[in-house]
Copies of this chain bind each other. A is one copy, B any other.
Amino acid sequence: MPQPPAVARPPRQKRSRESLERALTAAIEVIVDHGWDGFTVAEVSRRAQVSVGSLYARFGSKEDLFIAAQERYLHGIDEECSAYFTDAKWAQLSPRETVAAAVQGVSDSIERHGGFLRGLMLRAVVDPEVSAHGSPSIHHLAEAFSAVILVHRDSIRRVDPELAVDVCFRMVFSAFGRRLLYGPVFESPREFSWERFRAEQTRACCAYLLGSGSEDPA
């Protein structure tokens, strides 16, 4: 599982730790509320009640501040993800139910953290550091997703089940990520609710992984 932030210079005193705390919280809020375009050092300073100078003392640059906020935020997601995917419930699910629940885990996570993820994904396109620091959390999610499904490895009708599950994860993650950034009618005028979209993704994954029997009840 990804580790806590390593970017910021570690603070020694309590007061310092608190203001670092506020800085990260504020940075996240700014991203959520105003997106990357509204993410200015001055705005974070104002919200965090931490001086610009301190921010630079701690983070070195705007980019690093962003990355630290990102790590902080993703750390939270990681824990959520771990909690979701290590629950006891999984043991009792059928392959099909497992896929459904796994897809739902990914979908929910993206939907719930949409505000921040928008800013993050936008930035990751352009800034390799952001991309590099964001990747592990997604890998972690991918890993968890794969693990629960691969429990049913025998039901997977693919030569390379690991690969197949990986492909599923990519499909699902891409589809929801895209929807998050561009809305439901960017690629196609047909509108879907988030739930319906998830249901279809699930069906597609089942069909791909589990093969026959996944057709609609005709």
Question: B-contacting residues of A (Cβ < 8 Å)?
Answer: 35-37, 118, 121-122, 124-126, 131, 134-135, 138-139, 142, 157-159, 162-164, 166-171, 173-175, 177-179, 181-183, 185-190, 197, 200-201, 203-205, 207-208, 211-216, 218
Q: Could you tell me if A169 and B187 are in contact, using CB atoms closer than 8 angstroms?
A: yes
Q: Could you tell me if A135 and B190 are in contact, using CB atoms closer than 8 angstroms?
A: no
Q: Could you tell me if A211 and B208 are in contact, using CB atoms closer than 8 angstroms?
A: no
Q: Residues of B contacting A162 with CB < 8 Å?
A: 190
Q: How far is the CB of A109 from chain B (nearest CB, A)?
A: 13
- One complex includes copies of this chain to the number of 4
Task: Compute how far the CA of A124 lies from the CA of B187 in the bound complex, rounded to whole angstroms.
Answer: 12
Q: Which of B131, B175, B181, B207 contacts A125 (CB 8 A)?
A: B181
Q: Could you tell me if A171 and B171 are in contact, using CB atoms closer than 8 angstroms?
A: yes
Q: Residues of B contacting A118 with CB < 8 Å?
A: 125
Q: Residues of B contacting A159 with CB < 8 Å?
A: 216, 218
Q: Residues of B contacting A37 with CB < 8 Å?
A: 126
Q: Determine which residue in A35, A139, A170, A211 has the highest number of CB atoms from chain B within 10 A of its CB, and name it.
A: A170
Q: Could you tell me if A207 and B200 are in contact, using CB atoms closer than 8 angstroms?
A: no
Task: Compute how far the CA of A173 lies from the CA of B6 in the bound complex, rounded to whole angstroms.
Answer: 35
Task: Compute how far the CA of A171 lies from the CA of B159 in the bound complex, rounded to whole angstroms.
Answer: 22
Q: Could you tell me if B124 and A122 are in contact, using CB atoms closer than 8 angstroms?
A: no
Q: How far is the CB of A196 from chain B (nearest CB, A)?
A: 9
From known contacts A135-B186, A170-B187, A208-B207, infer whether A218 and B175 are also in contact, taking CB-CB under 8 Å. Answer: no
Q: How far is the CB of A95 from chain B (nearest CB, A)?
A: 14
